Structure 1
Amino acid sequence: MNDIRTRRPTKQRTAIEADLERYEEFRSAQEIHASLHARGDKIGLATVYRTLQAMVEEDLVDTLRTGDGEQAFRRCSTGHHHHLVCRDCGRTVEIEGPAVERWAASVSAAHGFTDVAHTLELFGRCAPCGAEG
């Protein structure tokens, strides 16, 4: 089996990477698939899912669970960070949280856990969406 860091760039993967670069918000595999088809790329939904999962494993794409439990994907910057996500329009802001990091380390140590990882997404309404409602 090939190491995931040495996967060759297929036509499908290149199209998915290009599509991810076009958007700032988190999007589902189905939304990415529809966007690719609208542009004329004939890529199966299963291929989109497999490619996105490989990209997550390679730390090239971030993923989160939306409010309804659906997995969503976004090309993000490198390094550990968190997200502030508008629940109306999907606008996403990358945030760093030193207080969260300290809290996670403290809670983990207090319970005797080591090698702890975490994710944090905050959901709210961005200013433009808040002004509309």
Structure 2
Amino acid sequence: MTTTRREAVRRVLAANEGFRSAQDIFADLRADGSKIGLTTVYRALQALSDSGEVDVLRTNDGEAVYRACATEQHHHHLVCRSCGRTVEVEGPTVERWAESIGKEHGFTEVTHTVEVFGTCPACAGSA
């Protein structure tokens, strides 16, 4: 895959604050006249995820959605379940717990993913 295609996917993600599905990204690129294929979008997203440039989140129905990272540091997300607004948050208590529980059971190279869902102030105010 050419870097140009990966860059096109990166630009779509950078233009949006929330998480987007591969199909949404594909539709945006096609609407802008790109000839990119859906498989190429998935490959670009995987490469960007592997490099730490995008965050990946699983929705309640198991679909992977993607978002450009605002930071290169390990972080978690607070996600509005109404509008998808996302805030990157640190969780030092979670970090200590994950390391501790791994050690307790003899695990090494422990990693974790924590996503917190709620309703943002804007959505709560309009309800």
State TM-score, norm by structure 2: 0.93
Moved over 4 A (4+): none
- What is the match of residue 29 of structure 2? 36
Distance 1:126 1:42 in 2: 36
Match of 1:52, SS state, is helix
| Runs (5+) with no aligned partner, structure 1 | 1-6
- What is the match of residue 110 of structure 1? 104
| Runs (5+) with no aligned partner, structure 2 | none
Identity %: 56
Matched, 1:132 2:126: yes
Distance 1:23 1:35 in 2: 11
Q: CA RMSD in A?
A: 1.3
Deviation digits for residues 43-86 of structure 1 (CA, Å, limit 9, x no counterpart): 11111001101111111111010122110111102010000111
State TM-score, norm by structure 1: 0.89
Match of 1:93, SS state, is strand
Matched, 1:91 2:85: yes
Matches within 5 A, 1:15-34: 15-34=8-27
Matches within 5 A, 1:60-71: 60-71=53-64
